[in-house]
Structure 1
Amino acid sequence: MTGMALAMGTAGQDVQVLLPAYPGVVDGLSRARTVARLPDLPGGPATLVRGHCRSSGLRVLALCNDALYDRVSPYVDGEGKEHPDNALRFAALSHAASCIAQGLPGLDAPHVVHAHDWHAGLVPLLMHAAGVRGVRTVLTLHNMAFQGAFDMAWADAIHLPRIYRNTQHAVAWDRLNFLKAGILHADRVTTVSHHYAQEILTPAFGCGLDSVLASRGDALIAIPNGIDAHEWDPARDPALGEDRYSARDTRPKTRCKAVLQHAFGLHAREDSVIMALGSRLTHQKMADVAVQALPRALDAHPRLQVAAIGCGDPAMEAALAELAQRYPGRCGVHIGYDETLAHRLHAGADILLHGSRFEPFGLTPLYAMRYGTIPIGSRVGGMVDTIRDPGQEAPLEAMRCATGVLFEGDSVDAMTAAIDRTLCLQQRPALWRAIQRNAMTANFSWDHAVERYAALYRDLVGDLAEAVAPRVAARPKPSSLLALPAPGLADDAIPAAA
């Protein structure tokens, strides 16, 4: 969540980010210098290097241990399998955060340590075990499906105190569970959308931890994510060259469509309707449903073209590639991820297909909306909060207030019907333009989230006023350390590591 850290820094919050020193991280820092040595971390001695990100100016603490972090991919090996020592790698990150919170020479302890997902889930527990006073903890849940579950045999290696090796603290289903540890010990638990906050309290979406979350109901709050409204802005996007456009004038989007058609080998037809797919090709993202719904849609709508970018399940990658061969000139597929191509995808397409069996927030539909590309999404999680759809039973004119189309369930029929409905809307130019304008002018920037997080930090620091009055008085603005597993996380990012 580097976007969050940048937005908070811009808003005047005192923020620095702790992350593993993956390849290139230290090289990307200006004024980098070693500020601490940590000899007793899981996985061996490590150092903390402090600097400023050259591209953003963000203050960074990089945890350096090449044996743990000098990997091509942060989470998985070349075959897409999780690194077998991930328990060790991310326990080291959590211990480092705990050490910083306890105070290290030359480093001010923060007021708040903000951990993200299971990768930093041990932080609140370790601070509890160390008896840290005067520092509060926040854990943000981005995706309950990934919990950091490991064999109990790792307990000694990750330096987990014995009194915490039970179901009251860090064990679920006879395995260590980093996420459960964080949920039980954080002062506050946040998640990234209002609807997802409700869903995860149910067995269908809680992934086995719904009762644990319910036990922390008084500490669980929803603070919706945001997007970088400057990076994802068709009026200033360098990826579009001279074909930039805005909600006031979308005419250059036609040229963006021609560029996209060329890039994906699609027929150069001005009257075509391009539907984009841009997400991980996984069961969560309904890739298995999409590869069945797309042929139906292509057969039923001769003007429809499909441009897909993504990677993930090899079977889904192969199915999409086969679809491109079956519909030459009408379906183009790029397996992998390319940042520039992703921007051009949103700029040139008319529609985004973004089915999902669960969706904590849903970034990709918001990127598409910024570019006047109308999302078709599942009625789950954050998409319920961000995609406005009066519903297919509402009068057609009600869609003048819409920003996209939602569908229920995960069946091929439901997805196909949503595509059909959207294409019918697209044939009504005035109505479609109204939906585009609504989508492009909706505000999903980090501004609102930053205000909520700043208020949360202030509340937490206020709770500590009596215990640490001198320190709080000396630094009236709460400082925070964001413990992150990677340079950036997104619940629907295309890279397979997300």
Structure 2
Amino acid sequence: MNIVYLSSEAVPFAKTGGLADVCGTLPREVAALGHRCTVIIPAFRSVRRSGCAIETTDQSFAIPISSEKLVGGRLLKSHLPHSDVEVLMIDQPHYFDRPSLYGDATGDYPDNAERFTFFCRAALVALQRLGRNVDIVHCNDWQTGLIPGLIRANADRLSTLKDAATILTIHNMAYQGQFPAESFPMTGLKWSEFNHNTYEYYGYWNFLKAGVAMSDLVTTVSPRYAMEIQTPHHGCGLDGVIASRGGRVMGITNGIDTSVWNPSIDENLTERYDVDSWQKGKLANKRSLQAEFKLDVSDDIPMIGLVGRLADQKGWDLILPVIERHVSEGRPTQWMVLGSGDPRIESELKRLATDAPHQVAAHVGFNDSLAHRIEAGSDLFVMPSHYEPCGLNQLYSLRYGTVPVVTSTGGLADTVIDTTAESIAKKTATGFHLWENSPHGLDEAIGRALYLRYHEKKIWDELVRRGMGADWSWRKSASRYVSLYESAIALTETSTELPS
């Protein structure tokens, strides 16, 4: 198959979150299964600073954004590291040569509708210029949501895409790309296309809704999230649109790059380890972290790790009261936190670290090496997200023998099996779920985990080994995507008319 991935992010070129990890790894794994894969992204400023070799091409183009505005661009070229996967980049400095991908401290860039409309239209021009017949066009998140509809509307002029099946993957339903109706003509589509079945959403036009309505198949990054977004609580206003697609909505859990996240070969660690040497290895990494951050150096004190965005979604309204309680009551726990985001949360963490420097360590910002070391040195990893399309840190934790404590939502529920009498007996348990989404519920789940850690060491050893032995590699997920692509092709070959 010839598969094209369209995304606003892909590691190592541009990243703000998990979308980049997926689009920088999945194409490489699918290519390793014998398929031709190409990735198309905007040529953001970060692309030039990625350290990757970037080539110019002789391909340039101009997109009519309005009757009075013609915007030019050109095509750059690179490859995903350690692969033959070609990466094409839409270069338009006015739109993409900016400090950040989507906005600045004041909010989203005001011309995001224009920026990503240009990207979608230019990507299709680039594909047509390359002259390769495409089997699958795999779009990712709202920034590429116009593409399925543009392909349908221009099928007679897009010869290389006339038989292509389109797939849209939703990585986070909360971000939809919604803009005032008066900017819709920049798509080049007729006003008749602007209706409640396709682009229109309460008087605005909505990139994500268009992608959901017009693509052949819709996927999410975990099976549970695929079900959740069809409910008002998680659908962010588009639950009815998602539900209307029926059996054409499904979830495939993200994988992790096991060449990067693997404690047996991880050069970031003080001591590497595997499933047979985890106790010695994790203890060495724990001691190293304690010394580095001036926590009490003790083998017996449990270390609780947290890595990720400091945002309400991640359950910080549950986490901060629990840390505060452990500190005020002198509980024998240590907290190792890495992340950035909400200034209010950052301030609270800094205060806690100042008030209890031997118990709480907080690194505000991001440090990839430290993220690996926290996963290796912690006993527990806490991730009580209010919603989580997939989540990667719980998968890293399982791989590193760090038992996750999570809420029963999205990918967290799909990947972490709660430790109960039944799951212990069946030998399926890998972590702990909150039985109540509250600070008390989080504290109780941590308490259950630590009881096993110190009083049921045989069961704890089984939890750790089971988590480390599970296969959450991208190779496994890639095989499922290949099956999905084959189904999408069969669907378009047998369907003369697709749902609108």
2:152 to 128, 131, 141: 128
RMSD over equivalenced CA pairs, Å: 2.2
Q: What TM-score results when the alignment is normalised by the length of structure 2?
A: 0.87
Q: Deviations over 1:439-486 (max 9, x none)?
A: 11111111222112112222333455699xxxxxxxxxxxxxxxxxxx
Is residue 60 from structure 1 mapped to residue 87 from structure 2 by the alignment?
A: yes
The answer for the alignment partner of 1:490 in structure 2 is none
Hey, what's the Cα distance between the residues in 1 that align with 2:200 and 2:330? Answer: 52
Is the Cα–Cα contact under 8 Å of residues 100 and 109 in structure 1 kept in the other structure?
no
With 259-268 and 375-384 compared, the bigger mean Cα shift is at 259-268
Is the Cα–Cα contact under 8 Å of residues 338 and 371 in structure 2 kept in the other structure?
yes
**Secondary structure, in 3 states, of the residue corresponding to 2:76?**
strand
The answer for the alignment partner of 1:388 in structure 2 is 417
Is residue 229 from structure 1 mapped to residue 258 from structure 2 by the alignment?
A: yes
Hey, what's the Cα distance between the residues in 2 that align with 1:309 and 1:406? Answer: 22
Aligned residue-pair number: 461
Is residue 239 from structure 1 mapped to residue 265 from structure 2 by the alignment?
A: no
The answer for the alignment partner of 2:55 in structure 1 is 32
The answer for the alignment partner of 1:459 in structure 2 is 487
2:139 to 109, 115, 124: 115
Hey, what's the Cα distance between the residues in 2 that align with 1:296 and 1:319? Answer: 13
1:272 to 301, 309, 332: 301
Pairs within 5 Å for 1:27-106? 28-30=51-53, 32-40=55-63, 42=65, 44-54=71-81, 56-77=83-104, 79=105, 81-101=107-127, 103-104=128-129, 106=130
1:303 to 312, 315, 332: 332
Hey, what's the Cα distance between the residues in 2 that align with 1:147 and 1:163? Answer: 22
The answer for the alignment partner of 1:144 in structure 2 is 173
Is the Cα–Cα contact under 8 Å of residues 28 and 80 in structure 2 kept in the other structure?
no
Is the Cα–Cα contact under 8 Å of residues 388 and 402 in structure 1 kept in the other structure?
yes
Is the Cα–Cα contact under 8 Å of residues 76 and 91 in structure 2 kept in the other structure?
yes
The answer for the alignment partner of 1:317 in structure 2 is 346
Q: What TM-score results when the alignment is normalised by the length of structure 1?
A: 0.88
Hey, what's the Cα distance between the residues in 2 that align with 1:296 and 1:171? Answer: 48
The answer for the alignment partner of 1:23 in structure 2 is 45
Q: 1:124 to 1:276 in 2, by over 3 A?
A: same
Q: Deviations over 1:347-375 (max 9, x none)?
A: 11111010111111111100011111110
Pairs within 5 Å for 1:188-337? 188-241=217-270, 243-250=271-278, 251-299=280-328, 302-337=331-366
Hey, what's the Cα distance between the residues in 2 that align with 1:64 and 1:148? Answer: 21
Q: Deviations over 1:36-86 (max 9, x none)?
A: 212116482111112324565531001101111112221221x16222222
**Secondary structure, in 3 states, of the residue corresponding to 1:93?**
helix
Is the Cα–Cα contact under 8 Å of residues 276 and 351 in structure 1 kept in the other structure?
yes
**Secondary structure, in 3 states, of the residue corresponding to 1:134?**
coil
Pairs within 5 Å for 1:477-488? none
Structure 2 residue runs without a partner (length 5+): 1-21, 496-500
2:405 to 364, 367, 376: 376
Hey, what's the Cα distance between the residues in 2 that align with 1:40 and 1:440? Answer: 50
Q: 1:188 to 1:297 in 2, by over 3 A?
A: same
Q: Deviations over 1:141-179 (max 9, x none)?
A: 111111111222322344443222222211212222110
Is the Cα–Cα contact under 8 Å of residues 303 and 380 in structure 2 kept in the other structure?
yes
With 455-464 and 284-293 compared, the bigger mean Cα shift is at 455-464
The answer for the alignment partner of 1:478 in structure 2 is none
The answer for the alignment partner of 1:3 in structure 2 is 25
The answer for the alignment partner of 1:181 in structure 2 is 210
Hey, what's the Cα distance between the residues in 2 that align with 1:25 and 1:244? Answer: 32
Is the Cα–Cα contact under 8 Å of residues 116 and 140 in structure 1 kept in the other structure?
yes
**Secondary structure, in 3 states, of the residue corresponding to 2:103?**
coil
Is the Cα–Cα contact under 8 Å of residues 47 and 65 in structure 1 kept in the other structure?
yes
Hey, what's the Cα distance between the residues in 1 that align with 2:423 and 2:356? Answer: 32
Hey, what's the Cα distance between the residues in 2 that align with 1:373 and 1:414? Answer: 20
Hey, what's the Cα distance between the residues in 2 that align with 1:30 and 1:334? Answer: 32
Is the Cα–Cα contact under 8 Å of residues 400 and 431 in structure 1 kept in the other structure?
no
Q: CA deviation at 1:30?
A: 3.8
With 290-299 and 457-466 compared, the bigger mean Cα shift is at 457-466
